[in-house]
Amino acid sequence: MTDITKQAISPSRSLVSQEAIQVFYRLLAALLICAVLAVLSDSFLSLGNILNVLRQASLTFFIASGLTLVVLTAGLDLSVGANVALSACLAGTVIHQTGSPLLGIVTALVVGGAVGLLNGVMVTALRIPSFIATYGMLWVLNGLTYWYMAGDTIHGFPAGFRQIGSGYLFGLPIPVYLLLVFLGIGTLFAQRTIWGQEIYAIGANPVAARLSGIPVTRRLLLVYAVSGTMAGLASIIFLSRLNSAEADIGESLTLPAIAAVLIGGTSLFGGVGTVFGTFVGALILTLVLNGMNLLSVSANWQPLVTGVIVILAVWLDMKTRRRTQ
């Protein structure tokens, strides 16, 4: 590794301790929310509710983990929810027509990854801002999914396939085990590999990263492809969990995924954040939504609360960034 490459990467490493402190404070916030909900609701600490919180947090995390890498490069992927819907509907069709869950899983991962890669091509080759490119892709995917499904619903999948999203192993939901696996892989990739450090460097200073010899275009294609692939994985979990696929399955998934990333401390300006922080963000968001359900808060208020939390997270990010500068 050349000296100039080390200089491009070094800013992210100098912020590791600050990120650890931010994650620590967010864990304290999660514990505080748990304490408040335990006082306000008798059913919050029940085993069934705790397992439900972990399962819901894992579903949000699968989408948000890939999105974290995109945000680390100062980009954004608004198409993840629509990607989940298209991947789930195509995977459901393959499973129904072939009887093979494995082919369905491969289909979802390939479709999700291809959509993500196409997003990356629009951002790098066509130089379209990620917000615009992925917002346009959102509408394209929605149109394709609604045209393909034509108002139909695909339901009724093999019992073995349904275990992925609904089954238990040693008392824990299987999605929680998948969460732990991908949390470990994502953390090691971002924090312990050269590719991960180069992604931080691109987000911190793309010009310096390019001048230092980092293959910026290839790394951006990688993060968008990973984000799409994780959306494809999430579609399998949802398909298995719901035992059905509809065109609108992904409409409510994008905002919580973005919220989990921002609440977890990943900066919209790039270069700062961790996959583990995103897990904590998904947990906090799920706890808040679960608490509102337990306290019988109207569903109409839940998007409002989520939006307020996102605004607060972005405000804290900007305030922290100004203080650091």
Query: How many Cα atoms occupy the beta-carbon half-sphere of 68 within 13 Å?
Result: 33
CA atoms within 13 A on the CB side of 63: 32
pLDDT at 230: 95
Can you give the pLDDT at residue 35?
A: 93
Mean pLDDT of 201-205: 92
Selection from 148, 313, 129 nearest residue 220 by Cα: 129
38/12: higher pLDDT = 38
pLDDT at 4: 47
pLDDT value for 146? 95
**Measured distance CA(168)–CA(180) in Å, rounded:** 15
- 324 against 26, higher pLDDT: 26
The pLDDT value recorded for residue 164 is: 93
Share of the chain above pLDDT 70, in %: 93
How sure is the predictor about 325, in pLDDT bands with cuts at 50, 70 and 90? low
User: What domains appear along the chain, each with residue ranges and CATH number?
Assistant: 53-319 (1.10.3470)
- pLDDT of res. 255: 87
**pLDDT above 60: residue 226:** yes
d(CA 18, CA 30): 19
In angstroms, the CA 132 to CA 271 distance is 21
Cβ proximity of 230 and 297 under 8 Å = no
Percent of the residues in the chain that have a pLDDT greater than 90, as a whole number = 68
pLDDT, tens digit (0-9, with 9 covering 90-100), for 258-316: 989 998 989 888 888 999 999 999 999 999 999 999 998 887 888 888 788 878 877 87
Query: pLDDT confidence of 152, banded at 50, 70, 90?
Result: very high
**Residue 184 neighbours by CB distance under 10 Å:** 12
Does position 11 have pLDDT exceeding 60, yes or no? no
| pLDDT tens profile 115-134 | 999 999 999 999 999 999 99
Digit-coded pLDDT (tens) for 94-123: 999 999 999 999 999 999 999 999 999 999
Q: Please indicate whether residue 2 or residue 253 has the higher confidence score (pLDDT).
A: 253
- With a cut of 60, say whether residue 15 has pLDDT above it: no
Q: Kindly report, residue by residue over 132-141, the tens digit of the pLDDT.
A: 999 999 999 9
Quick: pLDDT tens for 40-65: 988 899 999 999 999 999 989 999 99
pLDDT at 3 over 60: no
Nearest to 284 by CA among 23, 10, 3, 2: 23
Q: What is the pTM of this model?
A: 0.89
Q: Which is higher by pLDDT, 251 or 322?
A: 251
